[in-house]
């Protein structure tokens, strides 16, 4: 199964053109893995800029001098004034980048600086391979469906991002698991605000995605309805490869817009069971760099293993993000 691609190259020795091609390969293979990379912050930030990440993200977890680098860590970071990075706790359930956001970045990169002693894998699902193997009946049924995506936090339903569709359907997510719940005592109010704000990120009102999200809002919003949704195509056509793949962030899904409600549960259960077969679990070693697509894929992280004294083992990944249009 074509779930990930390993490349035997050293980024420090590549030309800019070769570096850009690595990002492009992510569109074709979903996950691209490079081992034994020795990158300084300057080099990693420069590579991410080549892949198109040029703007600041204005969030506490980005390095103040290299804004392309975000810290995913349970360590307290001197670079962040002693704060920990993003996702500093426990297990991260199945998700993809910016599920509820207007215009989330197409790819995420993780570069392992400090792995845990015992395994703390990131597990990846490949929505292109999963889609290929669906039965023709199911393919026909879901061809034009939008996933009705939401979360069940009250603050989300009070949010006023321009892309949110208002609907009368109660936000009853079809799974009882949650991707990552952040209750008020786990992040500071400022951090909670950063996490909230990034859902509105976008490439500007003239971008194709912004216009399309506004069009959807107009078409599917019910005036005066109480609950907020994001609609995304379940069968996504990749902008680089034109391949079809599942966009199915199944821990945030209430239903499918053009399928009768009494069929949602069975279809959902079938798709989740099928999708979970297309996975690759990555056991991190220092120097591993993984690039992974977010438009037709999902990922999760295993719980942090503990030390003998009961504390979590340290783990530090340098994260990056980019859009395909950027440098690719």
Residues in touch with ligand AKG (CB under 6 A): 72, 87, 92, 97, 108, 110, 122, 299, 301, 317, 319
Q: Smallest gap, in angstroms, from Cβ of residue 73 to ligand AKG?
A: 9
CA distance 7 to 16: 16
Q: 146-149 and 253-256 as β-strands: parallel, antiparallel, unpaired?
A: antiparallel
String of b and e for 225-256 (b: at least 16 CB within 10 Å)?
eebbbbbbbbbbebebbebbbbbbbbbbbbbb
Question: Rounded to the nearest whole angstrom, what is the least distance from the CB of residue 261 to ligand AKG in the complex?
Answer: 31
Q: Residue 109, class by beta-carbon neighbours within 10 Å (0-12 exposed, 13-18 middle, 19+ buried)?
A: buried
Residue closer to ligand AKG, measured from CB, 201 or 301: 301
- Cβ proximity to ligand AKG: between 97 and 151 the closer is 97
Which ranges of the chain would DSSP assign to H, the alpha helix? Answer: 16-29, 41-50, 127-132, 136-142, 154-158, 189-197, 208-220, 264-275, 324-327
DSSP symbol at 197: H
* Cα 47 to Cα 45: distance, rounded to the nearest angstrom: 5
Provide the minimum distance between the beta carbon of 228 and ligand AKG in the complex, in angstroms, as a whole number.
23
Minimal distance in Å, beta carbon 265 to ligand AKG? Answer: 27
Distance between CA atoms of 105 and 302, rounded to whole angstroms? Answer: 23
Identify the DSSP state of 115: -
Residue 114 DSSP SS3 = strand
138 contacts: CB under 8 Å, gap ≥ 6: 267, 270, 271
Q: From the CB of 251, what's the least distance to ligand AKG, in Å? A: 13
Choice between 232 and 301, CB closer to ligand AKG:
301
What is the side-by-side strand order in the sheet with 165-167?
Answer: 165-167, 227-233, 146-149, 253-256
Nearer to ligand AKG, 162 or 303 (CB): 303
- Across the strands, what pairs with 71? 318
In the complex, the smallest distance separating the C-beta of residue 72 from ligand AKG, rounded to whole angstroms, is 5
CA angle 182, 191, 86 (to 5 degrees): 70
**Of 110 and 147, which has the nearer Cβ to ligand AKG?**
110
* Shorter beta-carbon distance to ligand AKG: residue 70 or 145: 70
Indicate the residue among 122 and 296 with the shorter CB distance to ligand AKG. Answer: 122
| Least distance between ligand AKG and beta carbon 282 (Å) | 8
Dihedral over Cα of 17, 15, 319, 129: its sign: positive
If the CB atoms of residues 125 and 165 are measured against ligand AKG, the closer one turns out to be 125
Give the residue with the Cβ less far from ligand AKG, 35 or 141: 35
CB of 236 to ligand AKG, least distance (A): 18
CB of 252 vs ligand AKG, minimal distance in Å: 14
């Amino acid at each position: 199964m074509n779930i990930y691609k390993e490349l035997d190259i050293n980024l420090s020795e590549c030309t800019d053109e070769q570096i850009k091609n690595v990002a492009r390969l992510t569109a074709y293979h979903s996950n691209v893995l490079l081992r034994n990379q020795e990158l300084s912050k300057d080099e990693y930030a420069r590579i991410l800029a080549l892949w198109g990440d040029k703007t600041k993200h204005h969030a506490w977890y980005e390095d103040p001098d290299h804004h392309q680098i975000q810290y995913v860590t349970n360590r307290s970071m001197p670079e962040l004034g002693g704060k920990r990075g993003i996702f500093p706790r426990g297990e991260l359930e199945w998700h993809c980048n910016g599920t509820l956001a207007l215009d989330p970045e197409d790819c995420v990169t993780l570069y392992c600086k400090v792995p845990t002693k015992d395994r703390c894998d990131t597990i990846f699902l490949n929505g292109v391979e999963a889609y290929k193997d669906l039965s023709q009946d199911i393919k026909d049924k879901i061809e034009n469906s939008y996933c009705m995506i939401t979360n069940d936090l009250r603050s989300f339903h009070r949010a006023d991002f321009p892309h949110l569709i208002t609907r009368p359907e109660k936000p009853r997510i079809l799974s009882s698991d949650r991707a990552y719940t952040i209750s008020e005592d786990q992040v500071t109010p400022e951090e909670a605000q950063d996490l909230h704000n990034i859902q509105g990120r976008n490439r500007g009102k003239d971008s194709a995605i912004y216009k399309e999200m506004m069009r959807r809002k107009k078409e599917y919003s019910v005036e005066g309805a109480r609950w907020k949704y994001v609609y995304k195509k379940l069968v996504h056509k990749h902008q680089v490869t034109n391949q079809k793949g599942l966009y199915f962030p199944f821990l945030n899904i209430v239903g499918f817009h053009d399928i009768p409600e009494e069929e949602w549960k069975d279809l959902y259960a079938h798709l989740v069971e099928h999708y979970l077969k297309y996975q690759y679990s990555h056991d991190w070693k220092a120097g591993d760099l993984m690039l992974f697509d977010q438009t037709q894929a999902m990922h999760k992280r295993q719980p942090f293993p503990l030390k003998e004294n009961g504390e979590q083992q340290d783990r530090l990944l340098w994260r990056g993000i980019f859009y395909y249009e950027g440098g690719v």
